[in-house]
Chain A
Amino acid sequence: MAEYKSSAIEEFSNIWVFCEQRDGKLMNTDFELISEARKLADQRGSKLVALLLGGEGIGDLAKELGGYGADQVIVCEDPALAVYTNEAYSKVVCDMVMKYKPEVLLIGASNIGRDLGPRCAARLHTGLTADCTHLDIDMNTYVDFLDKNSNVDVKNTEFKMEDVNMKMTRPAFGGHLMATIICPRFRPCMATVRPGVLKKEEYDQTKAEACEITIVKPNIDTAALHEKVLEIVKEAKEVVDLIGADVVVSIGNGAAKDIETAKKLALELADALGGGVVGSSRALVDAGLMDADRQVGQTGKTVHPKVYVALGISGAIQHQAGMQNSELIIAVNKNENEPIFEIADYGLVGDLFKVVPEMINAINSMK
């Protein structure tokens, strides 16, 4: 086999996904990545390989990766890999890449993936694009993506349709801009991918059975390792602060007639949306119905969650000041003329006590 040289791009082939496990359990991101990489492999007409590192017995998990679309799983088992350490993992990942020369290497952008990815890219002498939210290889699918998700006038833009570099799209500047990055001169083309963005496909037992498992004994000199893991502590999620929450469901005057039910509904809705915190408008705080630390707005807290739901809130400027930068705003109010609907992405006109239970049902039915 030729010596590893990242610029000899013609020597590289196949799509690889580094699959992260913690405590001997695969992560949801692994399935998301495999599902997406399956499409890339099909676009490229190449093989999809999952790379799985772990302690003794980790190979037992390999088949499951096949069920989401991996053609082959390379399993590196060693006691030194049971728990993630940057040193041992980067050594084994780089050894494998140098040996098999994949064209693409995807890694989940978890705290571990973002520790491992850059280290490997630097050693492998190639580029790495962080925290991608969308990937394409085939130019047609990329142009189609741009057409749907950007302000680019694709009809009047020239594209080199034969380009086979992986096109890695990611938000830049806190989401104010999107950028598509390529790595044309070096291989593998590496990306870390944001968890929870790509869609996991259906598990397919037949594919799982068909998946090829390759066990590789990694070459780790434990005596030469510098990094020592003293302990790993799992912490129960703390009570989420309003400001840090991904989902905030706030209630306003419309909830005053039955505050306890409204609070319960708001929390249930937050749970359905992935878990979050219940906020409040100033009116309910002033009325003594909600605690002041839950108040969103000018004189309360400023929040910017991924999803903000305003239930029975008119959306006065004082309230808007505290929530208008939320990524997605959903409003429920009896009065369709309330200002909250001017800034909401989705509006539902109705009585929150009737609409919210329907929302919870509908959302849960979609999962």
Chain B
Amino acid sequence: MILDQKHLRFQKLCRQFAETEFTKDLLDKLEETGDFDWDIFRKMSKYGFCGVKIPKEYGGAGGDYLSYAILVEEFARVSPVLSIYANTSNSLGGGPLMLAGSEEQKQKYLPPVARGDKIMVFALTEPGAGSDAGGTTTRAEEQADGSFILNGRKTFISGAPVADYCIVFAKTDPKQKGSRGISMFVLDMKLPGVSLGKPEHKMGIIGYPTCDVIMEDVHVPADALVGKKDKGFGYAMQTLDGGRLGMAAQGVGIAQGCLEEAVKYSKERKQFGRPIANFQAISFMLADMATETEAARQLVYHAAELKDAGKDAAMACSIAKYFAAEAANHVAYKAVQIHGGYGYINEYKVERFYRDARIVPIYEGTSQVQQMVISGMLLK
């Protein structure tokens, strides 16, 4: 697809911001400390990146899915971890409320999230319920006054250590089997009974902390329930649909970043008296990398276009996520290979890209889950 002027302009903004602000010093600091960097998050917020896809009436910019994909791609091209910073509010954080929230809930939660004043994250996964989200054991017991008591543990929750709110899925009707009887709540992280596990030490995406969220007799009011009771699983799946698009875009960004580094390096690096780019073994690898990257990009843009047109995009999103996640890893592998020993040391960007790429086929639906979704629709 060919981007129109508005999207090109947006792409330019995202690229300029990422190339200028995501400095080597900042990226090294994220890597060293593993801590969330509030300065860059506030700067992103100031320019409105946290509200790209949140509607104007709720304080966002009212951008479309294509803009959202461009945002994540361009940020990930420079820093995969920082692409998550701007992603959450537009995707898994703000998404459930945009999807199913009442007018009151939207008015209350979305504007501060769009402005970056508050951080909202998404908690579905549990120690025993990963790809099989139907195995949710977190329990929400409805009280006589309509409020709920939450008990359970959510695991690998990205951004939990810095979150103000968390979208939590909990079983409200244990009698219903599997994915049924699950409801969606917006949980205030400051409520008594909410605690955090210790931050995980991850292979990549370092600098966006991840930990468990533990709920022990957390008393949430009735209006913490988002959407219809017992229908939470459907909301989760729909949210993940959009989230998949974002993570597919992240894959494209990582692939693009790796491709550019590899092209640059192969032109500079000389062996046997000439730049290594002059060897077909290298140049053909570059051609493969460019091909996979561009194919992934077009799948992502197409899926975004379908969503923006209000068409059914579930299959397109899964295909895009599956392909882009795998492409990011193929391309990162080759980029490290082209760099040789230099690609294995952290002075060079591809080393970090390689580690960051590894999560893309895992989170928000593994590649195998995408295969299930795609094949499921094919064989329906």
Contacts and interface: CB of A to CB of B under 8 A. Distances in A.
B268 A321 contact: yes
Interface in B266-290: 268-270
Contacts of B347: 298-299
A234 to B, nearest CB: 34
A298 B267 CA distance: 14
Interface string B139-176: 00000000000000000000000000000000000000
Instruction: Determine the main DSSP class of B at the interface with A.
Output: mixed
Interface in A296-333: 298-299, 317, 320-321
Contacts of A298: 347
Interface in B338-366: 347
Nearest to A324: B268
B29 to A, nearest CB: 14
Contacts of B269: 317
Interface string A320-349: 110000000000000000010000000000
Interface string A66-108: 0000000000000000000000000000000000000000000
Contacts of B268: 317, 320-321
Nearest to B269: A317
A321 B24 CA distance: 16
Contacts of A321: 268
A343 B268 CA distance: 13
A321 B268 CA distance: 8
Contacts of B270: 317, 339
A284 to B, nearest CB: 16
Nearest to A300: B24
Contacts of A339: 270
A317 B268 CA distance: 6
A320 B269 CA distance: 11
A340 to B, nearest CB: 13
Interface string B1-40: 0000000000000000000000010000000000000000
A320 to B, nearest CB: 8
A367 to B, nearest CB: 38
A93 B69 CA distance: 60
B92 to A, nearest CB: 35
Question: What 4 pairs across the A-B complex have the smallest Cβ distances?
Answer: A317-B268, A299-B347, A317-B269, A321-B268
Given A298-B347, A321-B268, 7 more contacts: A299-B24, A299-B347, A317-B268, A317-B269, A317-B270, A320-B268, A339-B270
9 contacts: A298-B347, A299-B24, A299-B347, A317-B268, A317-B269, A317-B270, A320-B268, A321-B268, A339-B270
